[in-house]
Structure 1
């Protein structure tokens, strides 16, 4: 009887813990999160964001091998820790930016060629345990042979002697070597920032503050973006500076009007008196 009760208790204990065990097994799956498509500039670089999930506990980098390969041909590897395993056209141009032990499989492709279209897939290997190719989660690249024009924003009204703010920005997919921005006003104060706008896209922007004067009226302000790899793109805006009204101008205008009125009135008086 005691044995029967003990067996029944063990069965209840198993039923109670089964959902927990089952949930743990389901959570220990292979999974990779990537961006399905990215626009990239030829000759620059592109960073492919990648997050990894693998079975079991977290492992050190040394216990995991990361490989990136062509979707259609698994033996066409674009990244491997052993450089002799990498396809000749990608040798020296790829590197892992993430730490596999931290489940980050992010890849950089440098000196992008117009044939680097992909799609590219990640493969993880845990030697003597398991391995998996994420062929359902791959990245395709859309090539741009020339960069887009930057976006230039400015205040609607510029006044002589009043500080003005200008913003020049452009999107890119090369955060490891972000573009630089220069202005035609070299003696002005500018700040540069680079922010993640998600899905593998970044935006670099420069804020310029300078004090316009009359000499800048009807002149061009140029913003030039220089990309990693050597390509450039620029945009310009024609500046209109509103002159600042001052008392001297007002006094001169009033005196001129009064003088004209007095002169005209005097002439009229003389003429009327002469012919009366």
Structure 2
């Protein structure tokens, strides 16, 4: 019974301690009919987690065990006193720093199982631990202090949480899981999810509906697993973002693990795609986004042989530039596709700006000019005139007439214009 119970406990704790089942119990050490079996060698554990001190004992036939007492005392001491008590069946005179942190794995002392678990470890828990068994011998109260010791060494927390991230697809709800290291029954850790730049998810507007919840699962009577789940709807803004799970086991002990979210994005054609026709050359650009990276095709090309294509890639965006000579029919379609999705769009074709202006001059009011073309031309003319007049005004200010320098200004009105030109003449 004891062997089966102990094997189960050790397997459940194998992720939080460095010792193994094979080395958990050593050889029994006997004295005056009392025998104790402890761990051989040093037990190594990590701060913030827990440690199990495996232990079993037997007593003389005339001795009936009633309760056990564990001490943490200096290795050089021959005897441990009341001030060194860390656990006893009757919770009296226990060191305050161990109160509530030590658990007897089997409360039935008659089973001779003296194994304990110490939760919420700190580096100050390193040291030597000894056992005393109290009971009745021949009807009288008595006890036996074992001289064998268990040595515990508590190191800094090294283990990291385990983050499970499923395949992420744009627009499809996903749940991520972060499991805290260890399987202790002590204080539950605080688990926090953070996006890159260390922002907590509840302190920044991250795109998508996000919820986080903490879960505690009982693995056995003395072990637990603590985890947190994060549920959200992935989008393009989540793609390639760093996501950190921070596990705080105390005010000054924490560990974290960072993963990069890889979101499958449906291919889409972005704003800014379009074509410009200049004389007999058609130039088009198609901008597409997706993950995996989409490929762009131009159905127009099956009717032409004189063309060139230039593609550039930035993150999960593809920019495809097409140039076609003598395009003829200028209906242009762009198709973007990846393994998840395909989308096509008919691109608007605009004539080159200068050609639009010339066409306006030739056709007069009977030609319907695009509003943005008229606005652009008007703005360009006004800006040019303002710059030209400003330049002339500055030039005029710099010319200072003197008696020797017979500079004069005259105003002339050209026959073909209603505007005046300012002319500055200087005699040679």
TM-score (norm 1): 0.59
Match for 1:75 among 74, 80, 84? 80
Alignment partner for residue 183 of structure 1, among 184, 193, 200? 193
Higher helix share: 1
- The structure having more radius of gyration, on CA atoms, is 2
Q: Greater RCO between the two (CA within 8 Å, min separation 6)?
A: 1
Q: Is the 8 A contact 2:161 2:179 kept in 1?
A: yes
Structure 1 residue 267, shift from structure 2 partner: 2.6
Deviations 1:94-120 (A, max 9, x none): 455222536454546567553431121
Q: 1:66 matched to which residue of 2?
A: 69
Alpha carbons of 1:100 and 1:201: their partners in 2 closer, same or farther (altered >3 Å)?
Answer: closer
Residue 257 (structure 1) aligns with: 298
C-alpha separation in 1, matches of 2:189 and 2:249:
5
Choose which of 35, 40, 48 in structure 1 pairs with 2:52. 48
Unaligned runs of 5+ in 1: 1-27, 271-276
Aligned residues: 228
Mark the CA change 1:245 to 1:37 in structure 2 (over 3 Å): closer, same or farther: same
The answer to whether the aligner puts 1:235 opposite 2:257 as a matched pair is: yes
Within the alignment, does 1:126 sit opposite 2:135 as a pair? Answer: yes
Displacement of 1:39 after TM fit?
A: 0.8
Q: 1:92/1:241 Cα in 2 relative to 1: closer, same or farther (>3 Å)?
A: closer
Instruction: After superposition, give the CA deviation of every residue in 1:209-233 in whole Å (9 maximum; x if it has no partner).
Output: 4431222123222211010455222
> Which residue number in structure 2 is paired with residue 101 of structure 1?
109
Q: CA distance change for structure 1 residues 37 and 149 in 2, over 3 Å: closer, same or farther?
A: same
Q: Structure 2: any 5+ residue segments left out of the alignment?
A: 1-32, 195-200, 203-209, 270-285, 289-295, 307-323, 330-428
Structure 1, residues 234-272: CA drift from partner, whole Å, max 9, x if none? 22222221212589xxxx99x9823566687993669xx
CA contact under 8 A between 2:245 and 2:256: conserved in structure 1?
A: yes
